[in-house]
């Protein structure tokens, strides 16, 4: 067939048109979608896990929950399933892939790869490293094979049980090779009742017991109007209670700020304690979950909130199962009107302990901190005014309101008011969560709450606020442990994670452990943190520190990082330079 021509009017030049066969071939190519398309089997497998498509489609904010379903079912995230999930949710593949690859607990594999039958995570953070976790991991790697994958993991929130290991989703406290191999055998050949034989025995208060002991009476009276919301708010303000997640913002003031914002408002609760040395939230949750839940109800009623999201770290598998069960019991027999409660599952990202990164994760995105302003109290979760709280802050609300602000403020030493929950680990006889007056010193904690130091150990140094809070020498063992008292010494109390070092430890090793942790956990969003932490860790591994270069890195990280991770990363470095120069001078 001869080619067809058409005179191009503007230039007068003839244009050669395609033949009909060429047009048909072009049409077929254009009709095909770009990129990899889902296959029918993968789509069916994904929909089987997600359930029937809701009328409004699968929720975008539940992307991480859907990824967990796939990861649990197939022990990894196959690329074919990510393609099918993107199709089912009507999302770009790149958007699903970038979330799946951000979180440590998701393993993305090509379709021809085979995942290990079991993953063993060995904590390598400071408290566990001090008790031999690095050596333990080396031993376990020698026993591993195709069926078992052994990897290092950041703090597992079980520092009082060091060294801590997760076999699959089962915690092995005070782990050794024999215990871990036995746990692996159980996980690979599960019994009808898969319970860890080493589960710590903790007195537990369930729903019925809590109700019988007067639980939820306060929340009920508040919702029935027998107690005025303004009175509760005033009590919170008068008590001086400050947020117990690390930042220490006055809780009552936060409630009032969010309450003054236009409705609808939401609440986001941070139970993602990932700061090395911190385990207080897990301890309280495992013992008395309804005291916390009543605090949630009270805060929601006072502030005017009808939807609450509880963000629990993925490492707390047993606690998540328990909390889901107790929330179901509460919802089945509600003592009063309940807000909508959603329990969400983290996926292994320390950065999601930062409030705005947690909000991003709750929206089903990468956990990257937001630039502020606007602040979460004004524009937070889903663009709504958001009351963001730490677990422990809400845990004490019922006691504080029932007993009055004077009950809380009458505690304290050295001019401080209230009390603090200290997570104590390291070289002490009785590690654990210790409730002590605000302003107590580390020496008093060791002597009166922790049974003293281990035999043959003397105090050399201590971390007053986990990896972020810096390191102090033994001669400063008298300092009050409270908000706003340690900053002149280059430290802060943060989440009150106390790690005790003895003469058998080195402060420089503790600082390097912390910096390596920050390098692994940086979200990568800002260059000062992403590059600075890696470079600092490399310099700190040298026998003699290059202090001039480290000073430059410290200044850039502290002043230019977007969030607290990069801003606090230099604290331990600076403390070693100031208080332990003999360790780094060669």
Residues 482-487, mean pLDDT to the nearest whole number? 90
Choice between 68 and 198, residue whose per-residue pLDDT is larger: 68
**CB atoms inside a 10 Å sphere around CB 200:** 13
**CB atoms inside a 10 Å sphere around CB 87:** 18
Residues 513-524, mean pLDDT to the nearest whole number? 96
Q: Report the pLDDT value the prediction gives residue 243, as an integer from 0 to 100.
A: 84
DSSP three-state, residue 278: coil
Instruction: Kindly tell me if the per-residue pLDDT of 15 is higher than 90.
Output: no
Q: Report the pLDDT value the prediction gives residue 23, as an integer from 0 to 100.
A: 54
Residues 459-473, mean pLDDT to the nearest whole number? 97
Instruction: Kindly tell me if the per-residue pLDDT of 5 is higher than 50.
Output: no
144-168 tens-digit pLDDT:
777 899 999 999 999 999 999 999 9
Q: Report the pLDDT value the prediction gives residue 267, as an integer from 0 to 100.
A: 98
| Whole-prediction pTM | 0.92
Please, what is the average pLDDT of the chain? Answer: 92
Question: For 122-126, 144-148, 435-439, 504-508, which range has the lowest pLDDT when averaged over its residues?
Answer: 144-148
Percent of the chain with pLDDT over 90: 84
> Which regions of 80-198 does DSSP assign to beta strands (E)?
108-109, 118-123, 148-153, 165-167, 170-172
Q: Are 418 and 438 in contact (CB under 8 A)?
A: yes
Chain-centre distance for alpha carbon 478: 31
Q: Report the pLDDT value the prediction gives residue 86, as an integer from 0 to 100.
A: 97
298-325 tens-digit pLDDT:
999 999 999 999 999 999 999 999 999 9
Residues 460-476, mean pLDDT to the nearest whole number? 97
Q: Report the pLDDT value the prediction gives residue 4, as an integer from 0 to 100.
A: 41
Q: Report the pLDDT value the prediction gives residue 2, as an integer from 0 to 100.
A: 42
**Partners of residue 459 on adjacent β-strands:** 502
> Over 372-413, what HEC string results?
CCCCCCCCCHHHCCEEEEEHHHHHCHHHHHHHCHHHHHCCCC
Instruction: Kindly tell me if the per-residue pLDDT of 262 is higher than 60.
Output: yes
- CA 382, 385, 389, 395: dihedral to nearest 10 degrees? -110
Instruction: Kindly tell me if the per-residue pLDDT of 33 is higher than 90.
Output: no
Q: Report the pLDDT value the prediction gives residue 72, as an integer from 0 to 100.
A: 97
Percent of the chain with pLDDT over 70: 92
Question: For 180-194, 261-275, 357-371, 432-446, which range has the lowest pLDDT when averaged over its residues?
Answer: 180-194
Q: Are 491 and 575 in contact (CB under 8 A)?
A: yes
Q: Report the pLDDT value the prediction gives residue 10, as an integer from 0 to 100.
A: 42
């Amino acid at each position: 067939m001869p080619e067809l021509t058409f005179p191009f009017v503007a230039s007068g030049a003839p244009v050669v048109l395609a033949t009909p066969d060429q047009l048909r071939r072009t049409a077929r190519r254009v009709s095909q979608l770009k990129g990899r398309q889902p296959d029918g089997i993968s789509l069916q497998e994904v929909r089987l896990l997600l359930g029937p498509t809701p009328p409004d489609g699968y929720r975008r904010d539940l992307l991480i929950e859907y990824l967990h379903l796939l990861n649990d079912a197939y022990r990894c995230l196959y690329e074919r399933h990510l393609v099918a999930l993107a199709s089912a949710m009507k999302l770009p593949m790149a958007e699903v892939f970038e979330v799946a690859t951000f979180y440590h607990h998701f393993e993305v594999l090509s379709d021809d790869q085979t995942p290990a039958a079991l993953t063993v995570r060995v904590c390598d953070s400071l408290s566990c490293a001090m008790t031999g976790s690095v050596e333990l991991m080396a031993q376990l790697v020698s026993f591993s094979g195709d069926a078992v994958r052994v990897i290092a993991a950041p703090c597992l929130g079980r520092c009082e049980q060091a060294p801590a290991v997760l076999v699959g989703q089962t915690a092995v406290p005070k782990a050794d090779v024999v215990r871990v191999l036995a746990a692996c055998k159980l996980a690979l050949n599960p019994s009808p009742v898969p319970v860890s034989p080493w589960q710590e025995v903790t007195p537990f208060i369930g729903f019925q017991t809590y109700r019988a002991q007067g639980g939820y009476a306060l929340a009920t009276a508040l919702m029935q109007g027998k107690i005025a919301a303004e009175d509760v708010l005033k009590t919170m303000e008068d008590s001086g209670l400050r947020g117990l997640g690390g930042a220490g913002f006055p809780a009552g003031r936060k409630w009032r700020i969010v309450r003054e914002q236009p409705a609808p408002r939401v609440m986001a609760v941070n139970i993602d304690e990932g700061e090395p040395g911190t385990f207080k939230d897990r301890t309280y949750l495992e013992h008395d979950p309804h005291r916390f839940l009543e605090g949630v109800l009270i805060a929601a009623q006072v502030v005017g909130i009808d939807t609450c999201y509880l963000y629990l770290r993925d490492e707390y598998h047993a606690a998540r199962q328990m909390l889901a069960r107790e929330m179901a019991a509460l919802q089945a027999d509600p003592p009063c009107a309940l807000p909508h409660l959603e329990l969400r599952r983290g996926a292994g990202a320390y950065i999601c302990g930062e409030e705005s990164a947690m909000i991003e994760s709750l929206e089903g995105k990468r956990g990257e901190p937001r630039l502020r302003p606007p602040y979460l109290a004004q524009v937070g979760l889903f663009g709504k005014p958001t009351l963001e709280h730490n677990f422990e802050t809400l845990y004490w609300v019922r006691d504080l309101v029932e007993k009055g602000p004077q009950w809380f403020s009458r505690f304290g030493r050295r001019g401080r008011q209230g009390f603090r929950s200290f997570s104590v680990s390291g070289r002490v006889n009785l590690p654990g969560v210790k409730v002590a007056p605000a302003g107590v010193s580390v020496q008093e904690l060791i002597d009166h709450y922790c049974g003293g130091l281990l035999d043959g150990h003397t105090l050399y140094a201590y971390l007053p606020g986990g990896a972020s809070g810096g390191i102090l020498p033994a001669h400063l063992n008298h300092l009050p442990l409270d908000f706003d008292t340690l900053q002149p010494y280059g430290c802060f109390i943060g989440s009150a994670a106390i790690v005790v070092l003895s003469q058998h430890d080195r402060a420089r090793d503790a600082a390097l452990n912390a910096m390596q942790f920050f390098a692994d956990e940086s979200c990568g969003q800002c260059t000062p943190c992403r590059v600075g932490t890696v470079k600092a860790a490399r310099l700190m591994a040298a026998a003699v520190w290059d202090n001039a270069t480290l000073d430059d890195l410290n200044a850039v990280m502290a002043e230019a990082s977007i969030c607290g991770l990069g801003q606090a990363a230099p604290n331990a470095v600076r403390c070693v330079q100031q208080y332990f120069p003999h360790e780094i001078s060669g």
